[in-house]
Structure 1
Amino acid sequence: MKKNILLIALFAFSFTACTRYFIGKPAQLRSIAVSDTTSAPSSALSQQIAAYLQPYHDSLDARMNAVLVKSPRRITKGGPESELGNLMSDILREMGQERLGKPVDLAITNNGGIRADFPAGNITLGNVYEIMPFDNELVALTLSGETMQKVIEYLAQRKEPQSGLKLVIDKASNKPVEVLIGGKPLDLQKTYTLITSDYLAISSDMAPIVKNNKGFEVLHYLMRDSIADYLRRKGQQNQELDPKKDGRTVVQ
C-alpha cells in the first residue's frame, strides 16, 4: 500500500514538474432558486452542522449585543465639527496617550472612516463594529513644528475630526487663521506628538505630509478596540455618552 502511494506521489510530482500551464474547462453555470421560506437546514448533515455551529453563533451574538454604555440621544457625524467626530478623535487621543505612555498633542481621524452613527439608548459592541468596521491601528508620530503646520493646513482644507486644536478657518480660502495647540500658539521650533490611524499616516492624502517625521510608532491597538475600551469604561463608571460640539473647529 505504501509503495502504491509513493508511486502515485512520484507520478503527480513528475506531471506537475513538467507542466507549467493548465487549461481548465469553461465553467457551466446554472441558476439555483433560493426560497425565503427555507428557515432551517433540511438535510440530516446540514442539521448536524447547524447544531455544531450554534454555540459559536450564540457566543458571538451575546458578545456583539453586550451593552457597553448608554447614550441619551443619537450621535452623528458632520463638518466642520460634530459630536461624533469630537468623540472619536477624543477617544483616539485619550486611549492612544495611555497606550503610548506620554502626552499627545493632537489626534486626527477622518469622517470617511466613521461608517455609522451611535444610536440613542444602549450602545453595544456590535455598534462599535458598525461605526468602525476596518482593522486600522493607532500610530504615534513625532513631528516638527513645521510639519505640524502642514498637518494643520491639511485639516483646514479637509475639516476632519481632531482633538487638541483650536482651529479657526477662513471660509474663502480654507486656510487656518487661528491655531492653538493645547491652548498655546504653534511653535515651529517645537516637536509635537500626533495620534492617528495607520491608514491616514500611510495611505491617505495626509501621508506625504507626515512622511518626514521624527518618529513613527505602531501602537498595536486597533481603533475599534480603543473605542470599545473607552465606551466600556464609561459604562462601568455609570456615565452616559454625552459628547458636545465645543467650537474646536470653526469656519468663518
Structure 2
Amino acid sequence: MNKLKVILIAVLLTAISCQTPPVSTPQPKASMALATHTAVTSKIPADPAVEKIIKPYRDQLRKEMTTVIGKSEVDMVRGNPESLLGDFVADVILDTARRFGHVDFAITNNGGLRAPVYKGNITVGNMFELMPFGNRIVIAKFTGEQVEALITEIVKKHGTPVSGVTIVSTAGIVNATVGQEKFDPGKTYTIATIDYLMKGGGELNSMWTGTIIKDTHVLLREALIAYVKKHRVLHPQIEGRIIIQ
C-alpha cells in the first residue's frame, strides 16, 4: 500500500510540474488622442461632390412638399374637449373608412396631431407636418359595454377627436348619441380609428379592448391629402361633439 501511495504522489507531482505556466497578457496602454471641435453651421460650405448627388432629390422633394392641394378658411389647432383640427382629422378617418363598409363613428387622439393647419393655402408638406407617422386607418368592432367604458374614459380625459358621435357630460351624467340615435349599451358598434390606438398606443386604454375587423391599409396622412384635394376649401366649425360641463 505504501509503495502504491508513493507512486500516486510521484505521478501527481509530475503532472503538476508539466502544466504550462499561465501566459501573461500585456495590458493595452492608454494614449491621448487630440481632437478638434468643428461646429456644424450654415457657414460651412457645401461639398460640391455631395451637393451634386443630393440636389436632384432635394429639388424633387421640395417641389412635392410645397404643392398646394387646398386651403383652410380658419386656423385649425388641436385642443380639448373639441377642436377644429381634431374634428377635421376625425372626419377624414370616418369618411375614408366608410368606403370600406358600415362604420358608426370615428375616434383618434390629440397626441398624434403634431402641427396646426393655419388659415390659407394647405400644402402636401403641411399634411406631413400634421401627421408624420405611418398610421393606418382600421375598422374595429366593440360591444356596447366596451363603448360605454370608452365614452367614460373620454370624458375623464376631457375629450378626444371624434366624428359621428356626440358626448355630453353634465354634472357627471353622460349622454351619448351615435349618428341620430341614442347610444345603446346592448348594441355592437363599428368604430374607425388608427392602428396605433388599437395596438396599445395612446392613452385611451378602452380602445385596446376592441377587435380589428378591417385594415384598410390606407395611411391616415394619405387620406388627409386626398380629402383636402377633393374638398379644396376647408371651413370647419365647432359643432359641440363633446361637451363637458
1:27–1:145 distance in 2 versus 1, CA, 3 Å: farther
1:91–1:51 distance in 2 versus 1, CA, 3 Å: same
Secondary structure of the residue that 1:139 maps to in structure 2?
strand
1:58–1:186 distance in 2 versus 1, CA, 3 Å: same
Q: Counterpart in 2 of 1:31?
A: 37
Secondary structure of the residue that 1:166 maps to in structure 2?
strand
Instruction: Supply the distance in 1 between the matched residues of 2:41 and 2:169 (Cα, whole angstroms).
Output: 56
Deviations 1:136-162 (A, max 9, x none): 111110111111111111221221011
Q: What is the Cα deviation at residue 48 of structure 1?
A: 2.6
Structure 1: 5+ residue runs without aligned partners?
Answer: 1-22
Q: Counterpart in 1 of 2:241?
A: 248
Q: Does residue 216 in structure 1 map to residue 203 in structure 2?
A: no
Trace 1:36-47 onto structure 2 (pairs within 5 A). 36-38=42-44, 40-41=45-46, 46-47=47-48
Letter of the aligned partner of 1:163 in structure 2? S
1:138–1:70 distance in 2 versus 1, CA, 3 Å: same
Letter of the aligned partner of 1:217 in structure 2? K
| The structure with more radius of gyration | 2
Instruction: Supply the distance in 1 between the matched residues of 2:72 and 2:49 (Cα, whole angstroms).
Output: 41
Letter of the aligned partner of 1:147 in structure 2? Q
Instruction: Supply the distance in 1 between the matched residues of 2:69 and 2:32 (Cα, whole angstroms).
Output: 48
TM, length-normalised to structure 1: 0.77
1:70–1:26 distance in 2 versus 1, CA, 3 Å: farther
Q: Counterpart in 1 of 2:11?
A: none
Letter of the aligned partner of 1:170 in structure 2? T
Percent identity, aligned pairs only, is: 31
Letter of the aligned partner of 2:220 in structure 1? M
Q: What is the Cα deviation at residue 205 of structure 1?
A: 3.4
Q: Counterpart in 2 of 1:166?
A: 166
Instruction: Supply the distance in 1 between the matched residues of 2:207 and 2:91 (Cα, whole angstroms).
Output: 20
Q: For this pair of structures, how many residues does the alignment match?
A: 214
TM, length-normalised to structure 2: 0.80
Instruction: Supply the distance in 2 between the matched residues of 1:26 and 1:83 (Cα, whole angstroms).
Output: 61
Trace 1:109-148 onto structure 2 (pairs within 5 A). 109-148=108-147
Q: What is the Cα deviation at residue 81 of structure 1?
A: 1.1
Structure 2: 5+ residue runs without aligned partners?
Answer: 1-27
Trace 1:30-179 onto structure 2 (pairs within 5 A). 30-38=36-44, 40-41=45-46, 46-98=47-99, 101-158=100-157, 159-170=159-170, 173=172, 177-179=174-176
